[in-house]
Structure 1
Amino acid sequence: MNDSSGGDPSGRTRRRLLAAGASATALGLAGCLGAREGPVPEPTVTNERIDDGWRLLDESESAVFERTYGPATVRALERTLIYEYVSVAEALDETFDASGSPVVFFATRIDLRPALDGLPAGVGRGRLMAEVETAAVDAFRARLRSAGTDGLEEVDEGTTTVVVGHTATAWRFAGEFALDGEAPLPDGSTTAVDEAVGVTARLAVWHDGTDVLVAGGAFPSEAVTAVIGDAVPGSLDGETVVESIADAEAAAALATDPAAFDEEVSVLIVSVE
């Protein structure tokens, strides 16, 4: 389901938060190697999973930066799509009135004008790609912060191969998504829930022969209901708490195995074209 959530106030709030993060970080991104005119084509998430459970939350088009290399002035343009996993976002909204979500995904196409081959000999692909990668990591941190995931730390850097065969630089990060609310207790009182859910985030950057593509996503590294269960006293478990506040569907969404989200995000990242 790729619901645009047009009438959902919480969806609008999340759009504003993520759009603000995208605007704040756009100037940090560097970009690609095409020589086209007109708008940058939107990136395409080719795996069909993007239509099953995810919704397009926001998109942006902007002039990323303008820099001078010797006699050449380079202008970078970007187009980004931001998605969130619907069931988790809605469950957190219903349970804790949260405006963000730890399960998000984005894809960006970056176009550098003029093309790399048209730049002075002293400005090579390696230099530009290094700038792109550094800026993409910084933008990734800020974008996830806007979605509620903070304290992002790099855990690993390596490479991966995307579906069409290009090699991407890939990173894994760890962060935290804050839970802040109240949970009902059997005696009719409530208890504060002020805990952090561990988050794993993945990012990849590659050159497809024309453009630079950036794709990344994040997901809980532990079941959200397990964290809720640890936060409440007695023998209450997290699923029971969520079900008492929202419903069984919300409880099931927040009890999802992190491995399922990891597979989902990883498959989507390498499918971007």
Structure 2
Amino acid sequence: MFSSFMTNTWIVASIVAAVAGFVGFFVVIRGASFAAHALPLGAFPGAAAASLAGVNPLFGLVAFAGLGVIGISWLSRRGRYEVATALCLITLLGLGALFLSMTSEYSQEVYALLFGEVLGVGNSDLAPVAAISAFSIAVTAALFRPLLLSSVSPDLAKARGVSSRAMELGFLTILALATAMALPVVGALLVFSLMIGPAAAARSLTDRPLLAIFLSAGISLVTVWTAIALSYLSNWPVGFFVGVLGAACYGLGRVSARVRARPSAGVPRIQA
């Protein structure tokens, strides 16, 4: 489990988990789980395009995630946000079907991007993942206050001169980078579980934004580490364990919130 060939696995998975927990906090408070699901599904055909072009698949993932951001941002100005997200998703999936039809040697890579193949991370992936992670964290930190304000109170943010369009575009850009980076680890079908499960659990445990972010990142790290260990021992996909553990974290968070909110039984009230 801790052999030399697993070094890249632990490094990349830890980076992805930390970024997913950080960004996932804003996904939860903005109610953007559909976008967190649609962007990676729309981005994975970019890996097929990159393979056809002979470049690193990660660059194709980022490029197609960027196309998704532009499409959602542009279409949502003229219609409902959910409809714009769905239209971009089906368009990118259509392009993916076209690219996949041009090659017969991409089936294993498609499976890995859909369901995750963390053991397939190579040395060439470390630098791009680290660079994208650093950029995502830096942009999120720079936009933290206005992004948080526009997420919890759009009217107050508007009154203070915060552009909702700019914050939406910034948030989608961060989300696209984070999801594209996480695809090789947990796969397109389960990347949103790594963002939403730990973040929702942290949100249930505290109302303090900074504490919730650190809790989300911590829970996400523990989830990925446990998933890798279980996958190594059972030879089951990492994505399966990430999904199950993410749902379990959310369930435990909700139970904890209910227990803390329940009034203590048998404690006499002091009358004035």
Task: Report TM bin, short chain.
Answer: under 0.3
Structure number with higher strand proportion = 1
TM-score with structure 1 setting the length: 0.26
TM-score, normalised on structure 2? Answer: 0.26
